[in-house]
Amino acid sequence: MTTPAALKRIADTIWELPMSYKEGMLVPARIFASEKLVKEMDAGVFEQVCNVATLPGIQRYAYCMPDGHWGYGFPIGGLAAMDPGSGVISPGGIGFDINCGMRLVLTNLSAEEVLPRLHHLVDRLFARIPTGVGCHGFVKLKQDEFRQVAEQGSRWCLKHAYATHEDLEMTEEGGCFSGADASDVSVKAVERGFNQLGTLGSGNHYCEIQVVQPHNIMDAERAEAFGLTMVPNQVVIMFHCGSRGFGHQVATDYLKLFLGVMERKYGIKIRDRELACAPFHSPEGQSYFSAMKCAVNMAFANRQVILHRIREVFSDVFHKSPEELAMRMVYDVAHNTAKLERHTVNGRVKELLVHRKGSTRAFGPGAQGIPKCYDKTGQPVIIGGSMETGSYLLAGMSSGADAFFTTAHGSGRTMSRHEAKKQFRGDKLQHDMEQRGIYVRTDSFGGLAEEAGAAYKDIDEVVLTTELAGLSKRVARLVPIGNIKG
């Protein structure tokens, strides 16, 4: 790959494209990457991050995280903060899978206790958690009940005995973005979504059994605060899923609406249709913001009911209650959202609309809006690698202020799904992984091939880069032993 000649190295892990790079840029573009990662980035990333820099109201820089790759309009691994007064909201800056996110759950079991029952455990998870495209959820709802889920998120789960108070505390925003009004969501979106509560989905969505090996703990103090030091080789559960067809339909509906009004009604000219947007304070912008929150809340509720079922499965397999197994949440992080947050710009505290697309909020120690128990450590940041190579738990840092306290979200793809399918075979991959101690169940070998570790960047390099850039600090590396995926 060739990087643009105008790309300047600002620091070891910070690269910049100046405003002169592309006509209409309102701010420079900044890319967090090591030299190796920046060279691996596709040319599309540099074009896209500079396109984002032309959007009205953008503050400081258009950003790309070390796991960044080409996406719809904005790069995946993108971050753009807008002035809500003069700026826009853009569905492409949030993504189709609204609030796709990661949840990490503890157990007090050791790998030695789990391994003899691993196959049974993974088979039971696979049997009890619906996976794959078009799967139906285990929570049966009428459409009006689903609208309540969309407005209430995890709070709905608490009322219906799928959650504990502590689960809500350990979820961003308590598992509910306020201001979600289901009347802003189309009938079609509800029709697609109402039978999807309690589904994992497909693509890179998975549920994984992982081990915290003592030699993989990088920050002992934070590891203890996050609950990872109960037993040596402690087993934890990490899972990744989002708002399914519901969020997809919300994004589709509003992209279409915005394309109709953006230029004709608001006079906004954009170089790429995929950057469709509307002024944040316009009726269309506010309506999308509300509908997006409905999808955010559906995704929080989806992860919450899945957690409920994971607890049931562990309870059945190990003949102990979830409390006896200490199945507490470490945290739940959202990847694809826009949020109003207060940040310091030019020495003044200002409210900004922060678009994160394939990037993670990473508030540091003492930040408002994170659980009290994490006040000294910073918020937990859960970064999933590929199913072959392992994942990380990190913590937000005060030094992340320049990037509006945001970090990476995963490994980032190095090849398209199509290319990965050509290069790898799912059945062979499953066999090879089992030889290496990772038991995988899937209902799509094609889908499995797309997720091969070799189709992703080096997760160790990505998280090290976030640490060197001051965005987040590594706490522990988590090694997979079992995985179910769609």
Partner DNA sequence: ATGTGC
**Annotated binding residue 400:** no
Query: Which residues, numbered 139-198, are part of the site for DNA (CB under 7 A)?
Result: 188, 191-192, 196
Asked if residue 204 binds DNA (CB under 7 A), the reply is: yes
CB 248 → DNA: shortest distance, Å? Answer: 4
**Annotated binding residue 97:** yes
Q: Which residue has the tokens 């929080």?
A: 300
d(CA 176, CA 180): 9
Binding mask 442-461 for DNA (x = CB under 7 A): --x-----------------
Nearer to DNA, 106 or 306 (CB): 306
CB 118 → DNA: shortest distance, Å? Answer: 24
CB 95 → DNA: shortest distance, Å? Answer: 8
CB 11 → DNA: shortest distance, Å? Answer: 30
Query: Which residues, numbered 70-109, are part of the site for DNA (CB under 7 A)?
Result: 72, 96-97, 100
Residue count, binding to DNA (CB under 7 A): 23
Is 120 a residue of the active site?
Answer: no
Closest CA to 380 of 109, 79, 170: 170
Give the pair of three-digit tokens for residue 283: 């009726």
List the catalytic residue out of 319, 409, 418, 431. Answer: 409
CA distances from 78 to 19, 140, 339, 377, 389 (A): 18, 35, 14, 25, 23
**Annotated binding residue 242:** no
Among 66, 101, 174, 203, binds DNA (CB under 7 A): 203
Left (φ > 0), alpha (ψ -120 to 50) or beta: where does 412 sit? left
CB 428 → DNA: shortest distance, Å? Answer: 20
Looking at the DSSP bridge assignments, the partners of residue 386 are none
Q: Do β-strands 439-442 and 472-485 pair in parallel, antiparallel, or remain unpaired?
A: parallel
CB 256 → DNA: shortest distance, Å? Answer: 11
Pair 196, 139: CB distance under 8 Å: no
Closest CA to 77 of 32, 122, 114: 32
**Annotated binding residue 207:** yes
Asked if residue 421 binds DNA (CB under 7 A), the reply is: no
**Annotated binding residue 409:** yes
Among 134, 232, 260, 283, binds DNA (CB under 7 A): 134
Nearer to DNA, 107 or 243 (CB): 243
Asked if residue 128 binds DNA (CB under 7 A), the reply is: no
Pair 7, 29: CB distance under 8 Å: no
Nearer to DNA, 69 or 361 (CB): 69
Nearer to DNA, 24 or 134 (CB): 134
Asked if residue 426 binds DNA (CB under 7 A), the reply is: no
Nearer to DNA, 203 or 364 (CB): 203
Binding mask 221-260 for DNA (x = CB under 7 A): --------------------xx-xx--xx-----------
User: In sequence order, what E strands does 40-84 have?
Assistant: 62-69, 76-82
CB 203 → DNA: shortest distance, Å? Answer: 2
Residue type present at position 262:
M
Nearer to DNA, 154 or 196 (CB): 196
**Annotated binding residue 206:** yes
Report the SS3 class of residue 416.
Answer: coil
d(CA 17, CA 438): 41
Nearer to DNA, 96 or 162 (CB): 96
d(CA 339, CA 449): 34
Long-range Cβ contact pairs of 274-277 (< 8 A, separation 24 or more): 274/72, 274/73, 274/92, 275/51, 275/52, 275/55, 275/73, 275/74, 275/90, 275/92, 276/73, 276/90, 276/91, 276/92, 277/55, 277/56, 277/88, 277/89, 277/90, 277/91, 277/92, 277/93
Handedness of CA 206, 434, 326, 232 (dihedral sign): negative
**Annotated binding residue 204:** yes
d(CA 320, CA 228): 20
**Annotated binding residue 69:** no
What is the contact surface with DNA in residues (CB under 7 A)?
72, 96-97, 100, 133-134, 188, 191-192, 196, 201-205, 241-242, 244-245, 248-249, 444, 486
The annotation places the binding site at: 97, 204-208, 240, 335-336, 384-387, 391, 409-412, 485
Annotated binding site for Mn(2+): 97, 205, 240, 335
Catalytic residues: 409
List residues forming the annotated binding site for GMP: 204-208, 335-336, 384-387, 391, 409-412, 485
